[in-house]
Amino acid sequence: MEVSGDVSVNIAKVVARSREAVSKLGHGVAGLMKKHGIRVRQGFAQVLGGGKVAIKQKSGSSTIAAKHIILATGASARPVPGLDEKMLWTARDAMLPKALPKSLLIIGSGAIGIEFASFYSHMGSKVSIVEMQNRILPLEDKAVSEFMQKILQLQGVEILTGGVIPNTHGLGLENTKATLDERGFIVTDDCCRTAEPNLYAIGDVAGPPCLAHKASHEAVMCVEGIATSDGIMKDKPHPFGVHNIPSCIYSIPQVASIGLTEEQARAQGLDVKVGVSHANCSGKAIVSGAIDGFVKVIIDSASGELLGAHMVGEEVTEMINGYVIGKQLEATDLDLLSTIFPHPTLSEMMHEAVLAALGRPLNG
């Protein structure tokens, strides 16, 4: 394929396509709620205590009572004092640009910051990232951070190294026994329960990791717990550990991880085996032209248990699911060693990384 002449980005059509997809998904969810008889009230709610909630709507105010209440108000961008609001974008604003900015300064290099840096850089904007920690993606494995910094810099992104706030304001938590931690997130136990009887909190408002799939899983676990306590269900839901929650970053290349980083494992005094498989040794990656990336695993030397996995590269947000299942089932290096991965696929790097950790790499 050859392209001649000037090529430009029509950002209006890009935004329109994204809104079309969001609208379709939103209508689908609305249809499901209607199908299951869930009543939706649009308005501002405040917890009054004693199982009561006040709702302010355009049509007026009302109070409803419920045996169980779940708070799922999410989190918002933390305000930046001293900056002209006309020049300041939140993540939501960055998803709905009226025009492509010539330059963009991104404060913070977590998942959202890196995704927007990658997107706008590829769209032609001059992008700079400011991160208060000493490296970007500070919650990821150090090898992932260093690799992504090199990739982003090659893409023309300037990186300077050296959040969000929970939506609890106006909820009326002062009318309950629910408490907040030092960062302002609602304190819950491993079943999403607050200190107020029958009051629960899920998702971003209950603290990091601020991930949609973590919030969804908490919602299911929370409702099933309520159903069990009310005698509707017999099987009690099982709480999940924070290290079994996968993280996905949709940058170019993608980033995905689960479990402990190498630094975290060693800081806990664990003796670990580490294996790395590089994309430039993968036949599928070479054919696809996606040789920038790697797969890294951290394995407990004593038990062989998979402690963590970290990936950079094409489609790693899909590949991570294999390790997610393994982590949930407490798989060992021998379990993964004896697993057959199809050829030719990018997922073979997952097997090769385990082989490397055991000192038996096929491509090393």
Considering 36, 238, 343, 351, which one is annotated as catalytic? 343
According to DSSP, the residues that pair with 71 across neighbouring strands are 201
Q: Which two tokens stand for residue 206?
A: 């209950």
Identify whether 217 is a catalytic site residue.
Answer: no
- Do 164 and 76 meet the contact criterion of CB atoms below 8 Å apart? yes
For residue 156, how many other CB atoms are within 10 A of its CB?
Answer: 12
- Do 138 and 264 meet the contact criterion of CB atoms below 8 Å apart? no
DSSP 192: S
Which residues, other chains included, contact 322 with Cβ-Cβ below 8 Å and sequence gap of 6+?
A: 347, 350
β-strand pairing of 199-201 with 69-71: parallel
State which H helix or E strand residue 312 sits in.
Answer: strand 306-313
How far the first Cα of the chain sits from its last, in Å, is 35
DSSP SS3 for 82 = coil
Residues serving a catalytic function are: 343
